[in-house]
Structure 1
Amino acid sequence: MVHHSSIKSPLLPTTTPSTIDENINNNDKTVYNAITFYQKMVPRDPHEINRTATPLELLFDLTLVVSISITSEQFTHLVLEGFNIDLAIFLFFATFSSNWMAWMDFTWFLTAYDPDDVFFRIGTLGQILGILTIGTGVPSAFMFNFIQVLYGFILLRAFYVSFYLGRAAFEDSVNRIYNLRMIFLTTLVQAGWYITSVYGPPTIEWTASTFVVLMFCEFFFPYISEIATPSPGRHPIHLGERYGAL
């Protein structure tokens, strides 16, 4: 006679009290890691294997897509209504650039640092709030009122400089000079956006010319920050995935 207790089904895993305790301990570790309060911000390994986008990065991208879709919708409306095509293209790039620079700052920083603790997530959520502010201000921007987009960009940059660059400059002594340069130059160009938008004449010539100059600074200043000083390594595969996903 065969006892039922001795029959082992190939479809059901066998568990013992020791394996149950081990699973519980593993689950506890997972929960603990998911809600890390603080972790020192140090550069990540640029050669890390199987580096992929984190859920936080994907959430940031999702928010950005909403803002970009509003920009595209407004541009389409102007074109269909017979608006001046040159001016419509400029307004599209002027509003799109705020989203693009937000994504660039976020992506290039996270490929170098990612402590994924509470303070880091607060900094990310603050930037997401800035993107949402930019997105809701896009319709006004297409009527040549960039104030809400400007304030959304200021909010975004405030969290980026304080929770990202400022913290990296304080905790990563090797790359401190680089991060301090980025803080100074990012603040400088943001002040340029504010001054030219608030105190400049509301003409297309002024807006277009200052836009070109400040966008050049946005792309050139990170290069200046890395001259003759150590900077955190970037993960090429991770960056490739991020650009491909966008």
Structure 2
Amino acid sequence: MANETQRSTVIPFDATRAVIARRLSESSSETPHFAVTAVADVTELLALRQTLNERLVAADRPKLSVTDLLVRAAALALREVPGVNASYSPEGRGATVMHERVHIGLAVAAASGLVVPVIRDADRQPTSAIAARAAALSARARDGRLSVSEMTGGTFTISNLGMYGVEQFTALINPPEGAILAVGAAVSEPAVVGGDVTVREQLRYTLSADHRIIDGALAAQFLRALTQLLENPVAIVA
């Protein structure tokens, strides 16, 4: 049988994809990544979300997504562990830039590739305001209408692939930020509660951090703070 010629389609990068390729190449080659994974029992979080959404629908208001709750929880955890809300600076012998404000980037899949609109001062906003802003930014991202100002100034990024059935993954840091949180899907798993085996919803998330400014202990402190918030969800929406 004669060999068939391999046919391929070449799709040139547009400006957005070219920037994504350059920035992630720089992140992978220049930033010393390390990753730490934790798991939270989010049974109560999901139950609270359902209750809140029933009330929001009755009031003709937008519903909350799991990502909205994660943005708020991560912002509060960053306020508690500010060393993760930081960037690396090459000035002098190298320096850690501690950010006073918490601006959460939200990785969104758009037609041109991955874009990261920023929710500013996420630690100071109620979850409902975060939900409204995230929905507006995501819609603008999918339509390719984000402005430069809406995609700059982030201090920390969240990438959630749980809606695609991904249970766990590791993400590349979005420079010049010092860390990114990769979130999977909540999965029903057996767990021991009060001596009895029961089914609980477990959520896994992985923090990728810049080892030049964040060490393992600091990353673990952040994940512990985040886990405590996710397992005590009233603190997120209060």
TM-score by length of structure 1 reads 0.28
- Larger RCO: 1 or 2 (CA < 8 Å, sep 6+): 2
Bigger CA radius of gyration: 1
Greater share of helix: 1
TM-score, normalised relative to structure 2: 0.28
